[in-house]
Amino acid sequence: MAKYPQNSTLKDGQIAGLYDLQETLGCGHFAVVKVARHVFTGERVAVKVIDKTKLDEISRAHLFKEVRCMKLVQHPNVVRLYEVIDTQTKLYLVQELGDGGDMYEYIMNHEQGLSEDKARHYFQQIVLAIDYCHKLHIVHRDLKLENVIFFKSLDVAKLTDFGFSNKFSPGQKLDTSCGSLAYSAPEVLLGDSYEAPAVGKFFFVIIDLRLIFGFKSCVSISSCCSTLH
C-alpha cells in the first residue's frame, strides 16, 4: 500500500500526481467512485475514494477486509485492484474500469430476457468468480446485479465491490447479516447463522431467472423463496 503526504495527494483533481480524476460513477455514505486517467499511460480506471474521517470502527474494519480480500482475489471474472494509495484523510482504491455498465442496467435494457446461450455465457462467468472466491475461503456477502460489471469490449462480466467480504474457515458459520435484502438468502433474512458458500447459491437462482426471463417475467423473488422452502 503506497503512502503519500496529504499535500501531494489531491491537488487540482489529481491523486499523488499519478491519476487525473474525472466524472463520478457513484457515491455512498463515505465513498465516491470516479473515473480517472493515468497521467503517463492514459489508461482509464475506476477509483474508489474513501473519506477516512467519516469512518467509524466498524466501517474501518470492513474497509480493511475489503482491501485484504481484493488483493487476494486474482481472477479473470473479478474486477482487478491495481493499487491502493493511502493518505492522511483519504484512501484510494484504483481498479479496472468496465465499459458496459452493471448487470442491473444490462437486464433493464433486455426486459424480455436474453437467449439461453447468452444467459449461460454470463452466468458461467459469475459462478466461476464466486467459486474461486470460496476456494480462497472468501465470501462476498453483497452479491447483487449492481455488483456485476460488464466489460463490453471483452464480452466479459466481472464481480466487484468487496465491501462486505470476509474470510471464513470451512465448516464455520457466520452471524453478521449484511448486503442487500432483495438478494439475501432466507437464513440471512431470518437472522440465523449461515454457511458462507451456501448463501451464494440463492443469488445464483435469482440471477439465472433474471437473465433468462428479464424483469417483466411473472417469476418473482418471493416465488424463489417458496421454491427453496
Active-site residue identified among 56, 131, 142, 208? 142
The length of the chain in residues reads: 229
| CB-based burial label for 208 (10 Å; 0-12, 13-18, 19+) | middle
- Sorted by sequence, the CB contacts under 8 Å of residue 112 that are 6+ apart come out as 214, 216
Q: Reply yes or no on whether 142 is catalytic.
A: yes
Whether 159 contacts 70, CB under 8 Å? no
Helix (H/G/I), strand (E/B), else coil: 107:
helix
Tell me, rounded to whole angstroms, the distance of Cα 199 from its chain centroid: 16
Q: Could you tell me the CA-to-CA distances from 22 to 32, 35, 37, 86, 195 in Å, in that order? A: 12, 5, 8, 19, 41
What residues are labeled active site? 142
